[in-house]
């Protein structure tokens, strides 16, 4: 199971969403810089890796891509919700994405979560459940 291939493939899929700048994990990003708000904060949550074969030669990795729309607090929630709908549309249930010698399958429709304030920003997470095998 190659976690780097999974991350690269999901990042490539999100890179096609040109409407917002992206804040990738472990990379510098200044939301206060000109043109960086609103933005898309991207995180990859790996839940588990299993293998149901006796030879242990067919691992499956279950995880979630969490793409959070971040807008200025006090602005309309409609902007964040429209962007969340657009991100969710990139990952329809059943979609298959090549990731090196793996295939990532979106296992459920993306979940657009309730928006929340973190004090400075308004955030709307889009959770994309997947299985890589």
Mean pLDDT taken over the chain: 90
Higher pLDDT, 105 or 75: 105
The yes-or-no verdict on residue 51 having pLDDT over 80 is no
Q: How confident is the model at residue 34 (pLDDT cuts 50, 70, 90)?
A: confident
CA 31, distance to chain mean position in Å, is 18
Please name each of the domains of the chain with its CATH number. 3-132 (3.30.2000.20)
pLDDT more than 90, % of the chain: 65
Helical segments of 26-109, H only: 77-89
Beta strands (DSSP E) in the chain are 22-23, 39-51, 59-72, 96-99, 102-106, 111-112, 116-117, 121-132
How many alpha carbons fall within 13 Å on the CB side of residue 15? Answer: 7
Q: What is the pLDDT of residues 95-129, one digit of tens each?
A: 999 998 889 999 999 999 999 999 899 999 999 99
For the entire predicted model, the pTM comes to 0.88
């Amino acid at each position: 199971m190659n976690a780097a291939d999974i991350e690269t493939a999901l990042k490539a899929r999100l890179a096609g969403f040109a409407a917002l700048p992206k804040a990738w994990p472990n990379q510098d990003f200044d939301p206060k810089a000109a043109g960086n708000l609103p933005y898309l904060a991207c995180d990859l949550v790996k839940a588990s890796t299993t293998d149901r074969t006796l030879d242990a030669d067919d691992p499956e990795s279950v995880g979630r891509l969490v793409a959070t729309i971040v807008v200025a607090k006090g602005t309309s929630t409609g902007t964040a919700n429209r962007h969340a709908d657009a991100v969710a549309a990139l990952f329809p249930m059943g979609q298959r994405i090549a990731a090196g010698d793996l295939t990532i399958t979106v296992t459920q429709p993306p979940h657009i979560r309730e928006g929340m304030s973190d004090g400075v920003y308004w955030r709307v997470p889009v959770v994309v459940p997947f299985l890589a095998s």
